[in-house]
């Protein structure tokens, strides 16, 4: 089974809708970074940033507007095409590369001050250790990597029950199997029919991706809120959402900073 090819085709079906959604926000002055991410970013002016799994480039544009020299990577062919169009509309210079992230070194041979990836990224990677190898290889000796994504413990629950105040396990935590869906979309696009594969990860797999590649985790944070589309059912501050029955009780996202040992 070619998971990568299927996922590429699935994401390409969403690309036009995503581009239109974020282009509209850009033109209206409403395009904004995840505030949980923005609060943690250092001064990026003049820094080289590798933005992994950039989708149609909206966050890549925002990183560039912060002064970073951005190289943005995505699996989707159309995602990259629309990313270039969005960057042009925003009048920022971004290099977009279409690639499976775990094979990025076949296309790119550079190191970066920062490697940044966030919001719905890690679960599309079958082998996180291979992902960690790419991160290590492309991180400047004094560079840092930032990740913000779904908390491993959040990925086990049935969301249709969370909104009712019930915690019902839908996906086993310890016995992970590839999750197969026949549709994709829902936050910036109507759902499209497309077979896609998701690889939920445990905390062990997450930590192993760093430790097995001699990357040192400097900080680790957990949050009970997220941007719309990542979970949650009740708006809170700064455009974020939480689960009203589990605010302060259930982790939805994590973030971390890591560097070379």
Q: Which residue has the higher pLDDT, 51 or 229?
A: 51
33 occurs within a structural domain: no
pLDDT of residue 176: 84
Asked, for residue 35, whether it belongs to a domain, the answer is no
Distance between CA 104 and CA 204 in Å, rounded?
A: 24
Give domain status of residue 109, yes or no.
yes
Mean pLDDT of the 131-147 span = 99
pTM of this prediction exceeds 0.75: yes
Per-residue confidence (pLDDT) for residue 188, from 0 to 100: 78
In-domain check, residue 54 = yes
Residue 19 lies in a domain: yes
For residue 188, being part of any structural domain is answered with: yes
Name the band, by pLDDT with cuts 50, 70 and 90, for residue 185.
Answer: confident
Q: Is residue 32 part of a domain?
A: no
The string of pLDDT tens digits covering residues 5-17 is 999 999 999 999 9
Supply the mean pLDDT for the chain.
Answer: 96
Mean pLDDT (whole number) for 119-136: 98
Beta-bridge partners for 259: 144, 216
CA 113 to chain centre: 19
Report residue 1's pLDDT band, with 50, 70 and 90 as the boundaries: low
How confident is the model over 96-109, as pLDDT tens digits? 999 999 999 999 99
| CATH classification at residue 179 | 3.40.50.150
Domain membership of residue 243 (yes or no) is: yes
How many domains does the chain contain in total? 1
Confidence of residue 190 (pLDDT cuts 50, 70, 90): confident
Mean pLDDT of 217-226: 98
pLDDT digits (tens, 9 = 90+) for 226-258: 999 999 999 999 999 999 999 999 999 999 999
For residue 31, the model assigns a pLDDT of: 97
Range of the domain at 159: 3-27+40-260
- The pLDDT value recorded for residue 187 is 75
């Amino acid at each position: 089974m070619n998971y990568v090819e299927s996922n590429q085709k699935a994401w390409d079906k969403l690309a036009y809708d995503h581009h239109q959604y974020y282009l509209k926000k850009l033109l209206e002055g409403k395009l904004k970074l995840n505030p949980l991410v923005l609060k943690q970013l250092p001064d990026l002016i003049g820094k080289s940033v590798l933005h992994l799994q950039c989708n149609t480039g909206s966050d890549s544009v925002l990183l560039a507007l912060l002064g970073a020299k951005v190289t943005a990577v995505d699996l989707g062919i159309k995602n990259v095409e629309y990313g270039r169009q969005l960057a042009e509309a925003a009048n920022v210079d971004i290099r977009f590369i279409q690639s499976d992230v775990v094979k990025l070194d076949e296309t790119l041979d550079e190191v970066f001050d920062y490697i940044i990836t966030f919001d719905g990224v890690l679960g599309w990677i079958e082998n996180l250790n291979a992902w960690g190898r790419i991160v290590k290889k492309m991180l400047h000796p004094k560079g840092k990597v930032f990740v913000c994504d779904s908390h491993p413990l959040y990925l086990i629950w049935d969301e249709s029950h969370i909104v009712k105040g019930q915690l019902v396990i839908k996906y086993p935590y310890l016995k992970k199997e590839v999750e197969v869906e026949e549709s994709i979309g829902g936050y910036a696009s109507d759902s499209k029919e497309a077979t896609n594969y998701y690889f939920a990860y445990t905390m062990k797999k997450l930590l192993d991706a760093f430790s097995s590649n001699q990357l040192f985790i400097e900080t680790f944070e957990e949050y009970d809120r997220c941007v719309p589309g990542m979970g949650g059912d009740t708006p809170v501050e700064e455009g974020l959402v939480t689960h009203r029955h589990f605010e302060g009780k259930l982790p939805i996202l994590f973030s971390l900073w890591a560097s070379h040992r």
